[in-house]
Amino acid sequence: MRIRLVAAGLLATVTAYGAIVRDVRAALDGGGFTRARQLIEQYKNKEGETPELAAAVSWLARGALKTKDYALAETAAREARELALRLLEGRSLKDDRNLRTALGASIEVQAHVMAARDERSEAVAFLTEELERWRGTPIETRIRKNFNLLTLEGKPAPPLALDEYVGPPPMPLEKLKGKVLLLFFWAHWCPDCKDEVPALARLKREFGPQGLVIIAPTRRYGYVAGGRDAGPEEELAYIDEVRRRHYAELGDAPVPVSRENFVRYGSSTTPTLVLVDREGVVRLYHPGNLSYEELAPKVKALL
């Protein structure tokens, strides 16, 4: 749907942003893959190829992956990817959220389809190529997340950039060997991160005396409360304010502030939880929330 507006003598075109994506996701929530495909085709016939269409197709791919319909997931992922690449000509990923969604999700789904078909080495090779291709772009962190999901457990934990921080000064990971580390990647805007705090605080109380150390990396996003744009110093002060207000139960957990850490650990999902053993080896890599009941046995097993 397009609405034309005339304001101050200027003609603008406004697209009903999110409509097809919203409708496709609603259809998929009800298990309606046929309906979702119909909506996509109807939209395409009316509007043609648009970034929003690419995003909607990528949601179809994710829905199919979730139900283990790997044939449909692969087909939709390739369709979303090819469409996004065509539409990227003359556009930037930085400026178009729909194209970021479509391209990032298509790569993610394709890799997980490969892994589900016991083509793990092929999936890792595919993600390695995509990491190189999209290095420095807004989807690099998402690709790294999926690379890490397939490769990071059992490998040494990547070092953290520690030049900037709030709270107590953080120590390099290599100097913390002998301790069990729980890395908690969070964002100042993230409600799920705040929901994770009680579980982490309980872990800290129970296992801190036995050698558990929590480190809570975060990063800047260019804005503060209410989405208001902010410079680096103002946002850093806001991060510290959020830390003291909502994360006080984590006590002396250091908070390194670096985009590099998020890229390195693939933290496109917040929170992301990474459990590291006494030898500095990753034993758990998990984008998303985990309960105390899920985390406690894993922590205890390493102490």
Q: Single out the residue in 101, 124, 151 at which a domain terminates.
A: 151
Q: How many domains does the chain have?
A: 2
Q: Is residue 75 included in any domain, yes or no?
A: yes
Say if pTM beats, i.e. exceeds, 0.75. Answer: yes
Average pLDDT, the chain: 93
pLDDT at 7 over 80: no
In terms of residue numbers, what domain contains 286? 165-302
- Looking at the structure, tell me whether residues 217 and 106 fall in a common domain: no
Strand, coil or helix: what is 266? coil
Q: Single out the residue in 151, 173, 207 at which a domain terminates.
A: 151
Q: Is residue 157 included in any domain, yes or no?
A: no
Q: Is residue 143 included in any domain, yes or no?
A: yes
- Looking at the structure, tell me whether residues 55 and 109 fall in a common domain: yes
Q: Is residue 156 included in any domain, yes or no?
A: no
Per-residue confidence at 125, pLDDT binned at 50, 70, 90? Answer: very high
pLDDT digits (tens, 9 = 90+) for 31-59: 899 999 999 999 999 999 999 999 999 99
- Looking at the structure, tell me whether residues 129 and 188 fall in a common domain: no
Which helix (H) or strand (E) covers residue 74, if one does?
helix 70-88
Q: Is residue 208 included in any domain, yes or no?
A: yes
Which helix (H) or strand (E) covers residue 202, if one does?
helix 191-207
- Looking at the structure, tell me whether residues 136 and 232 fall in a common domain: no
What CA–CA distance (Å, rounded) separates 70 from 64?
A: 7
| CATH code at position 277 | 3.40.30.10
pLDDT digits (tens, 9 = 90+) for 211-258: 999 999 999 999 999 999 999 999 999 999 999 999 999 989 999 999
Which helix (H) or strand (E) covers residue 182, if one does?
strand 180-185
